[in-house]
Amino acid sequence: MKKFAEMIFSNMLKKGLSRWTTSKKEGLLRNIISSILYKGGNIAVQLILVRVTLKSLSADHYGFWLVLSSLLMWFNIFDLGFVNGLRNKLTAAIADQDFNRAKEYVSTTYAAITFIFLGVFLLSLFITPFLDWQRIFNVYFIPATEVTAVTILTFGFFCMRLAMLPVNAVLFATHQAAKTELINFLTNAATLAFMLLLMRWPEKASLLYVSVIYGMAPVIVLIIATLSVFYGRLQSVRPSWQYVNLKTVKDLGGLGGSFFLLQLISLIFFSTQQFLIVKLFDATQVTVYSLAYRYLSLVNILANVVMAPYWSGITEAAHQQNFAWIRGAVANMQKLWLGLAILTVLMVAGSNTFYYLWLDNTSPPIPFEVTVAMALSVIIMAWNALYSTVLNAFGKIKLQIAIASVMAVGCIPMAIYLSSTLKLGLVGISLSTILCMIPGMILQPVQYQRIVRSGNRT
């Protein structure tokens, strides 16, 4: 299987990689092929996991779980952009063979993020008892004590997971993007294994047990992965308290602060959709929307897998002023996007059959028009992700922040108007996303062309 994939992608990427060294070409190609294979396994596990979870929970309970998970994504921003800042700074430090500086970046990032998320979790313990979570999530069908317990448990595990995420930035910076996909695969595989074990005792299949399983599995896998990475080939950048240097916080935080602001605005745009649905409609409609998105987001997942290794590659190439390679790499990414757009059309055509085989009547029906609207938004999202990856690699964030700000301001009222006032329902939610993404679809490629033409990354 791996050899077959290499045959396909080696010819596709050869032209774009022709101006890079043989070892780096092989490394990038190996990363892309391995990432696709790991992600393929991960997608299969996720699809099974959705079906198993739906069998353990009712559609409305599953809808609440999805809204809670979506809300928790907001807390990703509390890394203040340090992880993405680490990715770019570490790539440059390793390219310069400055391993002391690299170790300072890694150690300081871990110390800063651990401190941040410990503080955030302790604060949440104080605030949570004073909040009416039933009203916030519009889930009066679940006992208040259970909603509160699930929220606290999920948030606690979530903070632990985020505190260990810098290992992914280290793997990206050292051109080992495939290993991040392996970590994701093992996380979902462990979650599925625990869920299948839970199904042997149906009387214990509750939100509380599901939240423990979904929270505990990523933490266990990340602990093992972190030890494996830093006590293996990357001992030279292993974090140590002796290398924590508060002066590098400013170095990481300068670029990281821009990433933080971009993360914040993007989260407002993308993660409010499920919250809006549960407020405008009900938790069951969240399930319908999320299942359609889960199916079609396979396209974006594949796009991100292929594009992820390019981020650090473009950062390094730009650091070395190798703009010829960057042009070739972006041309390849454009070809891949076209192929994914065609794949999306085929997925829409076969969607009803897939839903039947996948869900087996365990969920409410998914209207075809919801699938079509979601498909269009996914195609545009993949195009924007292509150029976001390139601009992030250059450290060019300001335009993205401006575009995302307009999107964040306009998305909520537009979604309410289209879905509620015009009574377009879930289709209106997707249409609001499409309309808000159009400016980025046009302006990001323009900025990329200007950067490459000027040969300037400052």
pLDDT tens string 115-131: 888 888 888 888 887 88
Q: Is 261 a domain residue?
A: no
Q: Are 310 and 389 in contact (CB under 8 A)?
A: yes
What would the mean pLDDT of 262-273 be, rounded to a whole number?
64
pLDDT at 376: 95
Q: Is the pLDDT of residue 257 over 60?
A: no
What would the mean pLDDT of 96-104 be, rounded to a whole number?
86
Report the chain's mean pLDDT, rounded to a whole number: 81
SS3 content of the chain, % helix, strand, coil (to 5): 85, 0, 15
Output the pTM of the full model. Answer: 0.66
Annotate 141-204 with DSSP letters as a single string: TS-HHHHHHHHHHHHHHHHHHHHTTHHHHHHHHTT-HHHHHHHHHHHHHHHHHHHHHHTTSGGG
Q: Is the pLDDT of residue 253 over 60?
A: no
pLDDT at 25: 58
Question: Within 13 A of 165's CA, how many CA atoms are on the CB side?
Answer: 22
pLDDT at 6: 47
What is the spatial distance between Cα 56 and Cα 240, in angstroms, rounded to a whole number?
Answer: 43
Q: Is 366 a domain residue?
A: yes
Q: Is the pLDDT of residue 136 over 90?
A: no
Place of tokens 């269009």: 376
What would the mean pLDDT of 95-112 be, rounded to a whole number?
86
What is the spatial distance between Cα 235 and Cα 229, in angstroms, rounded to a whole number?
Answer: 8
pLDDT at 16: 46
Residues in the chain: 458
The tens digit of pLDDT for each residue in 367-424 reads 999 999 999 999 998 999 899 888 888 878 788 778 877 777 788 889 899 988 888 9
CA dihedral 108, 111, 115, 116 (to 10 degrees): 50
Q: 85: which 2 tokens?
A: 């800042």
Q: Is 29 a domain residue?
A: no
What would the mean pLDDT of 260-273 be, rounded to a whole number?
64
Report the percent of the chain where pLDDT is more than 70: 84
More confident residue, 442 or 140: 442
Question: Within 13 A of 224's CA, how many CA atoms are on the CB side?
Answer: 13
When mean pLDDT is compared across 19-23, 80-84, 139-143, 440-444, the lowest value belongs to 19-23
pLDDT category, 254, cuts 50, 70, 90? low
Q: Is 359 a domain residue?
A: yes
pLDDT at 264: 63
Q: Is the pLDDT of residue 195 over 60?
A: yes
pLDDT at 22: 54
Q: Are 341 and 424 in contact (CB under 8 A)?
A: no
pLDDT at 9: 46
pLDDT at 338: 93
Q: Is 339 a domain residue?
A: yes
Place of tokens 């399930």: 287
What would the mean pLDDT of 282-293 be, rounded to a whole number?
85
Q: Is 276 a domain residue?
A: no
What is the spatial distance between Cα 110 and Cα 95, in angstroms, rounded to a whole number?
Answer: 21
Q: Is 192 a domain residue?
A: no
Q: 134: which 2 tokens?
A: 């039933």
What is the spatial distance between Cα 140 and Cα 282, in angstroms, rounded to a whole number?
Answer: 11
Residue 321, domain extent: 281-458
Provide the number of structural domains found in the chain: 1
Q: Is the pLDDT of residue 172 over 70?
A: yes
Report the percent of the chain where pLDDT is more than 90: 18
What would the mean pLDDT of 154-165 be, rounded to a whole number?
85
Q: Is 40 a domain residue?
A: no
pLDDT at 270: 60
When mean pLDDT is compared across 37-51, 77-91, 216-230, 332-346, the lowest value belongs to 77-91
